[in-house]
């Protein structure tokens, strides 16, 4: 996919306080929607870009304008499609909100973003996998793009002696993890997903789909040598195959043209310090939140006869309602505080204004998952083993607790056969999607919705007429329960897919 006939899609840069106006013309033959990943939206949920959650999407041939206020945010975000598999098929680009006051002193900044890539469209891959009955799809081996081009032809990083560089490192991957190293250089992580961190020295970065960090690197004193940076593309659910999984790439850190490469000893990954979020601390020193209520989500998987696995956080795989979830919350009055009106396929949880929520996510599953919360961020407070990792040929996750000021982020990895605890405070009304950012998880049901303080949504949200017009053009209702009916009448709502069959 391309935007304005450009491939790669150019990154978007603004300064904190700007209002970004995205004028979108849908030239596809299917609907689209645009999600500014990491933006909070203060009672402008209808600009979040999650099709059939906060809007109806943009019909083919139509125009729509997203208005994104950056007054309260800065850092490393990204923009991507949020309809079907458009993200995987290439609708994605970095979105940088430059701080008015730098979080650290540096002389220059550079952007490095990594993407996994497949020559087939996602829907074609699914069709092939279903025909072959490959339960651990996708078996196809991705290649990597660096800054939107083939990783084998990417440009060098140019360093000047003694300069301090801020490198914005982003994983726009949809099915693979990224490991990044700069042997011979010291890296300090200063932010995660746009949230400033107490600087943490690391040897390498390990980023799941959708995760972003900024690091500070100080160049060497001389131009005597050039160096290499190393990138590994991997996924624990794709079979190992020499040269294909994992894939290894490298790029030049150039101090001087034609200078010899420095000789750096090889070190095993297990001996290195990585950017494990549980060991990071938030720079603002926000303390560990208390727990008013715990919500338990357990990742389930069921593989039907056609061979493609479905996932869920509860009994049913997430699927779209007949009415966008936001519009149900706005139109159902007091019933909006009853999760039943959203239907079982929404996996809806009602949150009260002012409460602090702990999410306890269990992953008794052979796959790692990258979990994203729309419209906010959470503290990462605890991780540990769950299920029998060793018996299933996986390395057991060690039990760890955060420090007194846990790092906050909007995407986190929950490893195979492990659990994770996340905490956040409900400070406004909102409809927020919580989902796996790997396409094979999110596309096949691994999502839930949080409807926070629906009474405040009804008081403060005024949906623009242009948003309503998009729905009318698609023939989608903008009021009623999940089925577009009154009360608890779910007549017409498709039967949700049952995943938890224990």
The overall average pLDDT reported for the chain is: 93
Over residues 47-64, mean pLDDT? 98
User: What is the four-CA torsion angle of 254, 258, 262, 263, rounded to 10 degrees?
Assistant: 130
d(CA 460, CA 366): 43
Q: H/E element holding 452? A: strand 447-452
- pLDDT band for position 179 (50/70/90)? very high
Q: How many CB atoms within 10 Å of residue 448? A: 19
Over residues 97-126, mean pLDDT? 88
Instruction: Return the pLDDT at 138.
Output: 47
Over residues 301-309, mean pLDDT? 76
d(CA 71, CA 50): 22
Instruction: Return the pLDDT at 307.
Output: 66
Over residues 106-115, mean pLDDT? 97
- pLDDT band for position 137 (50/70/90)? very low
d(CA 481, CA 156): 54
Q: H/E element holding 14? A: strand 12-15
Residue 430's alpha-carbon distances to 58, 294, 373, 379, in angstroms, are 21, 19, 12, 18
Residue-wise pLDDT tens digits, 316-337 = 999 999 999 999 999 999 999 9
Q: In 21-93, which residue ranges form alpha helices assigned H by DSSP?
A: none
Residue 89 has pLDDT above 50, yes or no: yes
Over residues 419-433, mean pLDDT? 98
How many distinct helices (H) and strands (E) make up the chain? 5, 31
Instruction: Return the pLDDT at 130.
Output: 57
Least confident of 237-246, 275-284, 286-295, 424-433: 237-246
Instruction: Return the pLDDT at 502.
Output: 59
Over residues 296-300, mean pLDDT? 96
Burial bucket for residue 388 (CB in 10 Å: 0-12, 13-18, 19+): exposed
Q: Nearest 5°: phi and psi at 433?
A: -85, 140
- Quote the distance between the C-alpha of residue 48 and its chain's center: 14
Instruction: Return the pLDDT at 395.
Output: 84
DSSP reduced 3-state for 83: coil
Residue-wise pLDDT tens digits, 203-257 = 999 999 999 999 999 999 999 999 999 999 998 877 777 777 889 999 999 999 9
* DSSP 8-state assignment for residue 226: B
DSSP string, 106-124: -SEEEEEEEEEE-SS-HHH
Over residues 91-115, mean pLDDT? 94
Least confident of 44-58, 111-125, 364-378, 411-425: 111-125
The residues, ordered by sequence, that sit 6+ positions from 189 with a Cβ below 8 Å of its Cβ are 197, 199, 200, 202, 205, 213, 214, 215, 275, 280
Rg of the chain (C-alpha set) = 22
Helix (H), strand (E), coil (C) string for 140-197: CCCEEEECCEEHHHCCCEECCCCCEEEEEEEECCCCCEEEEECCCCCEEEEEECCEEE
Which position has the higher pLDDT, 148 or 393?
148
Where in 308-410 does DSSP place strands (E)? 310-312, 348-351, 356-363, 369-373, 378-385, 400-401, 408-409
Residue-wise pLDDT tens digits, 347-362 = 999 999 999 999 999 9
The residues, ordered by sequence, that sit 6+ positions from 41 with a Cβ below 8 Å of its Cβ are 47, 48, 375, 430
d(CA 502, CA 495): 19
d(CA 257, CA 280): 37
- What is the percent of the chain with per-residue pLDDT over 70, rounded to a whole number? 96
Residue 308 has pLDDT above 80, yes or no: no
The residues, ordered by sequence, that sit 6+ positions from 190 with a Cβ below 8 Å of its Cβ are 103, 104, 166, 196, 197, 199, 214, 215, 216, 283
Which position has the higher pLDDT, 131 or 490?
490
- What is the percent of the chain with per-residue pLDDT over 90, rounded to a whole number? 80
| 248 neighbors 141 (Cβ within 8 angstroms) | no
């Amino acid at each position: 996919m391309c935007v304005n006939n450009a491939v790669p899609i150019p990154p978007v840069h603004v300064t904190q306080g700007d209002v970004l106006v995205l004028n979108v013309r849908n030239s596809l033959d299917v609907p689209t929607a645009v999600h500014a990943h990491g933006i909070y939206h203060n009672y402008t949920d209808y600009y979040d870009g999650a099709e059939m959650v906060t809007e109806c999407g943009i019909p083919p041939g139509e125009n729509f304008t997203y208005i994104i206020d950056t007054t309260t945010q800065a850092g490393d975000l990204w923009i991507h499609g949020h309809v079907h598999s458009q993200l995987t098929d290439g609708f994605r680009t970095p979105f940088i909100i430059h701080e008015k006051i730098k979080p650290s002193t540096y002389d220059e900044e550079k952007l490095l973003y990594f993407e996994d890539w497949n020559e087939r469209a996602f829907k074609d891959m699914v069709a092939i996998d279903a025909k072959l009955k490959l339960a651990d799809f996708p078996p196809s081996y991705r290649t990597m793009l660096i800054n939107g081009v083939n990783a084998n032809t990417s440009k060098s990083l140019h360093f000047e002696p003694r300069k301090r560089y801020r490198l914005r490192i982003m994983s726009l991957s949809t099915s693979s993890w990224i490991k990044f190293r700069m042997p011979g250089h010291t890296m300090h992580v200063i932010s995660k997903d746009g949230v400033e961190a107490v600087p943490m020295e690391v040897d390498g970065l390990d980023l799941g789909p959708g995760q972003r960090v900024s690091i500070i690197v100080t160049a060497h004193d001389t131009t005597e040598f050039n160096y290499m940076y190393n990138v590994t593309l991997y996924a624990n659910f794709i079979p190992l195959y020499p040269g294909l999984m994992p894939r290894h790439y490298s790029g030049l850190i150039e101090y001087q043209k034609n200078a010899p490469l420095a000789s750096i000893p090889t070190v095993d990954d297990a001996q290195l310090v990585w950017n494990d979020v549980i060991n990071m601390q938030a720079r603002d020193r926000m303390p560990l939140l208390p727990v008013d209520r715990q919500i338990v989500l357990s990742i389930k998987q069921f593989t039907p006869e056609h061979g493609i696995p479905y996932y869920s956080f509860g009994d049913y795989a997430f699927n779209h309602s007949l009415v966008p979830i936001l519009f149900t919350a706005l139109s159902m009055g007091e019933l909006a505080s009853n999760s039943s009106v959203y239907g079982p396929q929404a996996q809806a949880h009602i949150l009260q204004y002012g409460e602090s929520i702990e999410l306890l996510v269990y992953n008794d599953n052979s796959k790692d998952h990258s979990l994203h919360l729309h419209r906010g961020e959470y503290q990462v407070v605890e991780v540990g083993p769950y299920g029998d990792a060793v018996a299933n040929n996986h390395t057991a996750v060690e039990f760890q607790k955060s420090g007194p000021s846990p790092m906050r982020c909007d995407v986190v990895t929950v490893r195979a056969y492990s659990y994770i605890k996340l905490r956040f405070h409900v400070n406004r009304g909102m409809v927020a999607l919580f989902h796996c950012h790997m396409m094979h998880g999110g596309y096949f049901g691994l999502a839930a919705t949080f409807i926070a303080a629906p009474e405040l949504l009804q008081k403060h949200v005024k949906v623009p007429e242009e948003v309503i017009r998009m729905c009318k053009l698609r023939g989608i209702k903008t009021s009623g329960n999940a089925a577009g009916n009154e009360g608890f009448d779910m007549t017409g709502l498709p039967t949700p897919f049952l995943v938890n069959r224990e």
